[in-house]
Amino acid sequence: MDSIFLKANAKINLSLDVLGKRDDGYHEVKMIMQSINLHDEVFMQITEDGIEVSCNKHWVPSGSGNIAYKAAELLMKKYGVKKGVKIKIIKNIPVAAGLAGGSADAAAVIKGINKLFSLNLSQKELMNLGKDIGADVPFCLKGGTVLSEGIGEMLTPTKPFQNVNILLVKPKISVSTPWVYKNLNIKNISERPDTEGILNAIKNEDIVYVAKNMKNVLETVTVNRYRVIQEIKNKLIKYGALGSIMSGSGPTVFGIFENKKKAYFAYEKVKNSRWQCFMTETLCEER
Ligand code: ATP
């Protein structure tokens, strides 16, 4: 095999809680991560020498500034790979949107390097390497529905919450994750997600309970600064979503729908030139 094609799936957070800040500056989180079938396309080819990364969107760094480059470099150096690799990314996941697009690309590259150069590393070993690239990379390597705790490194898979209809809406703003965490006042969080209740509902396949109880405490920062986030949430509910929250550090908002027809109805109502809208579904873990 001298080339490979991989899908790099985005994620949403069905809940996101921040429990505290550690002395080393990291935040302790408790969140339910869910992969969705909105994906970037990653093509990788063995070359004689060096690492090349290109992307079809000019605002995403190519070369060594791309997280995919860092992932390839880490593995190739560590395992003494003598050849090079050319990586082409077709970006479909909105950038700096709370959907872990960069981490998804990095995870795809880690899997690709493992296969292309027959490194035969286990998923556990790959996840261990992935955490040095970014906090969301281990999850992206695993996929599916996962409870993430600690600083995001403790991952516990749950029963799959697959084939659930999701409408994503991203307003034309970019939100920096460090800015959100810097402005988060943990003492001011009055409403927290009932993570255990949501996990229980996932186990019981109770989509309505999950949708109605989803909560993201980072909205306490972003909704005040960007009113459009609340506006999108209100619209999704108005047009039939069972529940709607912001994903990650935003600004993407998503709604959960009972079926595709209802999701499409809302899509038609909310789509406009200022917002990017995607109809998608939740995925189970890749095997
Ligand atoms: P998260 O949900 O993990 O916080 P995000 O979806 O908010 O991530 P990304 O789309 O991963 O954010 O992008 C964050 C930053 O990383 C961007 O400013 C972008 O320039 C840079 N970046 C580097 N490589 C990539 C890549 N392959 N895809 C997207 N962004 C990349």
Residue 188: which pLDDT band, with cuts at 50, 70 and 90? confident
How far is 256 from 262, CA to CA, in rounded Å?
10
Concerning whether 11 is annotated as a catalytic residue, the answer is yes
Q: Which residues pair with 30 in a beta bridge?
A: 17, 149
* pTM attached to this predicted model: 0.96
How far is 209 from 89, CA to CA, in rounded Å?
37
pLDDT at 26: 87
Out of 105, 136, 215, 233, pick the active-site residue: 136
pLDDT at 1: 83
pLDDT, tens digit (0-9, with 9 covering 90-100), for 229-259: 999 999 999 999 999 999 999 999 999 999 9
Q: What does each C-alpha distance from 24 to 21, 123, 137, 153 come to in angstroms?
A: 8, 28, 21, 15
Residue 233 backbone phi and psi in degrees, to 5:
-55, -45
Q: Which atom of ligand 1 is nearest to 68's Cα? A: 27
pLDDT, tens digit (0-9, with 9 covering 90-100), for 189-208: 989 999 999 999 999 999 99
Q: Do 162 and 261 contact (CB within 8 A), yes or no?
A: no
Given ligand 1 and candidates 9, 36, 60, which is best to mutate, with the most ligand atoms within 8 Å of its CB? Answer: 60
Q: Do 197 and 21 contact (CB within 8 A), yes or no?
A: no
Domains and CATH numbers, the chain: 3-157 (3.30.230.10), 165-281 (3.30.70.890)
Out of 11, 91, 111, 142, pick the active-site residue: 11
How far is 176 from 253, CA to CA, in rounded Å?
15
